[in-house]
Structure 1
Amino acid sequence: MRSRLFDAAGVACVLALLYLERHLAPVPILVIGTVMALTLLLRRAYPVPVAAAVYGLALVQLAVRPAVRMVDVCVLIAMYSVVKYQKKLLWGIVAGGGAAVGVLIAAVTEWRNHTGSFWIVFSVVGAVTATVWVSAYSVRTRRLYIASLEEERDQLARLIAADERAAIARELHDVIAHSLSVMIVQADGAAYVVETSPAEARQALDTIASTGRTALTDMRRVLAVLRGPAVAPEDRRRPRLADLAESGLALRIEGSAGELGAAEELTVFRIVQESMTNTLRHAGPGASLVVQLERSGNDLLITATDDGTASTGGASDGHGLVGMRERVAMHGGTFAAGPLDGGGWQVRAAIPVSG
Structure 2
Amino acid sequence: MMAIALWPFLSAALTVPVLALLYHRYNRIRFSQTLVAYGTVLYAIGLLCFTLYPMPEDAVAYCAAHHLTPQLNPLQFVGDIRTDGLSAIMQLALNVIFFLPLGFIIGRVFRWPIAAALPVAFATSLLVETLQLTGFLGLYPCSYRLFDVDDLITNTLGALLGYGAAKLFDRIVPPRTYSLTTVTRPGFLRRCITYVIDLTAVTVVAMPTAMLITIAYDSTVVRDMATWQAIPAIGHMFGHDVTINDLTMLISLLVFELVVPLLHGGRTLGGGFTHMTCETRTRSGWRRALFYAARTAVFVIVVFARLIPLACIFTFALLIFYVVKKQMPYDLLPADNEPVVADAPIRP
TM-score range, shorter chain: under 0.3
TM-score of the aligned structures, taking structure 1 as reference length: 0.25
TM-score of the aligned structures, taking structure 2 as reference length: 0.26
Is the strand fraction higher in 1 or 2?
A: 1
